[in-house]
Amino acid sequence: MHFFSIHFITALTIIILISPSANGSIKESIEIYNNEKLSSVEKNRRITLELIKAHFYYSATTFAKEYLSETLSIDPEFEETLQFLLLSTGMDSFANIDLEAMQKLNSPTINLIVSYRLFNKKQYQQAEKYLQLIPERHIFYPEAEFMRGVIFDVTDKSEESLKKYESCKNFSKKWIGRAYTREQSKFFEKLNYSCIIHLARAHYKKKNFKLALKTYQLIPKRNYQWPYLLIEQAWANYYLQDYNRALGLLVTYRAPLLESYILPGADTLSVLSYYRLCLWNDAAALIERYQREFAPKSQALQNLLNSQKNSDSYFFDLITKEMSVAAKELYVNKLAIQISKKIKFQTDYKAYQKAQVELNFVANKTNSAFFRFIKERLDDEVNFRKTALNHFVKKQLFQFVNDIHKYAYEMFSIKLNIMSKRRDLVYEDKKLISDRSRGSFENLHRESNQYFWDFRGEFFADELGDYSFGLKSNCTAIDNEEARPRRRR
């Protein structure tokens, strides 16, 4: 199944690439490339600018990187060029540029690229120093604040992390309105949501669960990340001992709109919530359902993945091509849909598609040294991005299998605890105070936008994520009068 059709993007991009203005810029680029009177620094700079005019952004990035490896300084015009290329092609386009050469240049955009490279090397202190050099008025300042928040997060500086995520949230929101293009606006909107989500997680990490929940509410339901946040909110409610609200959030995954979201951890948290309410029959039934649904397929799925773990393209093809019947039966189809909706996959796959379009355009023009040079570099770019996407999908699928086994073990532990508690009640001639009931408003702790879940076989899209159960705790033990006569006999 094709989740992202390349044909529309290809057709649209080719129309742009073969326009008269694009052809003019291409001819100018070839003339500059063949001009032996120009220095390589001047050539690379001018070709970069011409290829941007022709909408060959990935090809332009190739020459921009050559220019950066040779130049001693960056003027304001090329700083704006770098900003545009980074927003158009993404950080991965600059992944292979020489780090030492970059560190010699003084430019806000370069400082951001260098900080990402240092962050990936786990040189957090050095990365943070480069981020400090990006001025507040710069277009990448919100992203710099986000990165500083992440750095403070991973180095356990929680207060500094909270401040930076809050700053990122505020500045990225301002830049949504300042953006010159729709693409820029979408970039800052995604960044704003990422800042909010990380801010909520930072509050959660500090055990400020109510503040975390309030922050999560800022993410709209239309956001692609929203379904994954349901379980995070459920955990916050669980630690607030609002087990009914946790169950209400988790039942949302049973809605038809979210049927492709298979999260083993959601079932485990539901079991834990029933367990805390001493509704052991419900917990046991959910454990049995989990084992029935996941156990038979998990080993077969793991065997399928292991057989292809060294492939450079199998996992990429799972998302982008029609998959086999065997894979569909192992819920890989639903997992593929789930992975394809992740922001990282969408962003990286679009970049791969656009780079592939440029490569297709120059592939047959091998009679020109200029095009041969571009083709060689774009081949590397496309293969790099495809390999990275293949690895991302593989990692997601293997993580899913590992989660199945991890949560199966946790559920088994809960099952043993339930059996132990039931045995203790028998020995003490006790029983729990009440049987499982459907629920009552009396047991409900809810906000104004949350609904008592009186399920009748249907979900309403505008209410998703707003449900709460109304189950009474069953944890009070009373004397079991029926058991005593039997014990005396």
Using the structure block, give the residue that is written with the tokens 């207060």.
159
Between 395 and 474, whose confidence is greater? 395
Specify the pLDDT at position 448: 41
Helix/strand/coil for 22? helix
Which two structure tokens, joined as six digits, stand for 92?
A: 């991965």
Among the listed residues 391, 392, 366, 393, the one whose alpha carbon sits nearest the alpha carbon of residue 379: 366
**DSSP track, 77-142:** HHHHHHHHHHHHH-GGGGTTS-HHHHHTS--HHHHHHHHHHHHHTT-HHHHHHHHHTS-TTSTTHH
Which contacts (CB < 8 Å, 24+ apart) does range 304-308 have? Answer: 304/330, 304/332, 305/394, 305/397, 305/398, 305/401
Among the listed residues 137, 46, 48, the one whose alpha carbon sits nearest the alpha carbon of residue 88: 48
In Å, how far are 21, 45, 458 from 56, measured between CA atoms? 12, 14, 49
Residues 397-446 have pLDDT tens digits of 999 999 999 999 999 999 999 999 888 888 876 777 765 454 454 444 54
Gap between the Cα atoms of 208 and 225, Å rounded: 21
pLDDT band at 467 (very low <50, low <70, confident <90, very high): confident
Residues 141-185 have pLDDT tens digits of 999 999 999 999 999 999 999 999 999 999 999 999 888 888 889
Gap between the Cα atoms of 313 and 386, Å rounded: 8
Given a cut of 80, is residue 6 above it in pLDDT?
Answer: no
Gap between the Cα atoms of 169 and 146, Å rounded: 8
Among the listed residues 100, 43, 48, the one whose alpha carbon sits nearest the alpha carbon of residue 79: 48
Residues 16-70 have pLDDT tens digits of 455 666 788 899 999 999 999 999 999 999 999 999 999 999 999 999 999 999 9
209-213, 258-262, 473-477: least confidently modelled range: 473-477
* Average pLDDT score over residue span 445-450: 48
